[in-house]
Chain A
Amino acid sequence: MSNMPQFPQKEIKPIPPAKKYPPALLNQKYMLPVDKIHEVYEDGNVVGIECSLLISLYHGSPLSMIRSIKVKYDALEYENDPMKFTVNGHTYNFEEMKTMSTMFWEYGEYAQLFIPIPGGVGLGRHRLEVGIAFNGSATRGINHAWAVAEINLIEN
């Protein structure tokens, strides 16, 4: 204890609850842009939601290093399949991505995540949360990326 300086002799005000943010996650601020979320139509019917994502690592990653993709869309929850993931114009499901070791989600390039919701959940305000777990390079552990978007869907 001898090296410890004296604690400030004053009243320390508590930090306001609104300021208690979780630790920053890499690129979380840019990962899920709210203006790149929209409904997807097929034959005039809503078949799901698509969002665009930027990678939440400091480098591009082989698709096989994505360990899980989780989505909460209002009260609906999804994990891995049956969602679809598109990089560089090619669409894969999670099972396929597990062995795609030379295909990269490039740094700075948007990937599209399709969430199948036949019929949709209607226009108006919704909350979308996306979580992606990566295995990092070298001996790093799992990197858990997570972001939330409050959206207001309007008719296309």
Chain B
Amino acid sequence: MAIKLGVSLYSYQSLFLRKLIDLEGAMQEIQKLGASGLQMLGEQTPLRPRYPRLYQPDIDRWNELCAKYGIVPTCLDAETYPNLYAHRYLTAQEQADQLEDDLRYAHDLGFKVVRVLCGVDPEVVKLAIPAAEYYGVKMGLEVHPPLSLDGFAVTRFLEMADKSGSKMLGIIPDFGIFRKGCEGHTMYYAQVMGADPDVLEWINQCMKNDVPDEEIQAELRRHGCDDPLYMRLATDFMRNYQEPEKLKAVKDFILHFHGKFWRMREDYTEVSVNYAEVFKVLKEMDWDGYICSEFEGQRAYMGQACPYEEDEIEQVRRQHVMMNRLLQDA
């Protein structure tokens, strides 16, 4: 029983976009970290000819690369497209068929789990159970902020899983639910753009103290700080901190973790995600499985006029130093 580490290629998305890294290069980076897990999105990773089609030469190459770099495919992020057409919403069966494409794709590449986006209707997942059984690939509901581990969406999904009698369903918590305070990348962006560091830290403390957005915004306005840089930071419908202890109640359903983070400092600490406490709880639970890095700090600095960007590879490296230290802590 052990916690193992990996990387979601989502972390390297801007490198993939500009072809500054390819699949083999990404696997090399994972190997350099001493990690083995690989998570990815079919629609983002440059496997060709074209998603969701795969032919034997593509599968052979994938397997060769995985063997060469010691890679274990852990989780494929499934996307469903209910809004595929402008004039109508897809039926549940059509969406389940899309999920089946991902299950087959995952099976062919050796992934054992697909991530189901948190917005997907449980009815869609239910309809895809026969495909999951057939391909031997489990479906995990993404528990992404602002969802709660014991909230309506997760409870409803787990009830459906229980009634179905299938062993192919579970959940995939995203570490974003363990954030206390402002997202690190947004706070840093505001600082670079000229916001006052003391005001930023004040907003951060308000968030840590669970002060509602409206009260923070009103106080900012009262002090003349109504600039969008401040107001954006104080408008945060994604914050819904979950006590890591809650993981114990759903332990048997956890298939995988998305190691979400937004900004790693040079001292190997994440600005606001409570990694230390989660790792402590996971070790107490004797949880066995993969945590794959999911760097999402790109969202702050991709504006056309933004004068900086982060090094995605370095951000992931720092996070792995932190996670390895937490694994070694008694």
Pick out which of these stretches binds chain A: B125-133, B193-201, B238-246.
B193-201
> How many whole Å from A31's CB to the nearest CB in chain B?
8
**Is A54 in contact with B43, judged by CB distance below 8 angstroms?**
no
Shortest Cβ gap from A34 to chain B (Å) = 11
Query: Is residue B328 contacting chain A, with contact meaning CB distance below 8 A?
Result: no
Among the stretches A42-50, A98-106, A113-121, the one at the interface with B is A98-106
CA distance A60 to B309 in the complex (A): 22
Task: Determine whether the beta carbon of B211 is less than 8 Å from that of A29.
Answer: no
- Report the Cα distance A4→B46, complex, angstroms: 47
If A8-B198, A24-B300 touch, whether A99 touches B193 (CB-CB below 8 Å) is no
Taking CB as reference atom, which chain B residue is nearest A139? B119
CA distance A60 to B277 in the complex (A): 36
| Contact (Cβ within 8 A) B306 A29 | yes
Please give, as numbers and ranges, the residues of chain B lying within 8 Å of A22 by CB-CB distance: 228, 303
- B227 with A15: CB separation less than 8 A: yes
B43 touches A28 (CB 8 A): no
Tell me the smallest distance from the CB of B152 to a CB of chain A, in Å. Answer: 15
Q: Are B304 and A147 neighbours in the complex by a CB distance under 8 Å? A: yes
Query: In the complex, A27 Cα to B18 Cα: how many Å?
Result: 10
| B interface, CB within 8 angstroms of A | 10, 13-14, 16-19, 41, 43-46, 50-51, 79-86, 117-120, 189, 193-196, 198-199, 202, 205-206, 209-211, 215-216, 219, 223-225, 227-229, 232, 298-306, 309
Q: Which 7 residue pairs of A and B lie closest in terms of their CB atoms, listed nearest first?
A: A24-B303, A139-B119, A59-B43, A138-B119, A135-B83, A3-B209, A8-B198
- Other A-B pairs, 13, CB within 8 Å; known A4-B216, A64-B85: A3-B209, A8-B198, A10-B198, A15-B193, A22-B228, A24-B301, A29-B303, A54-B17, A59-B43, A62-B81, A98-B85, A101-B81, A137-B117
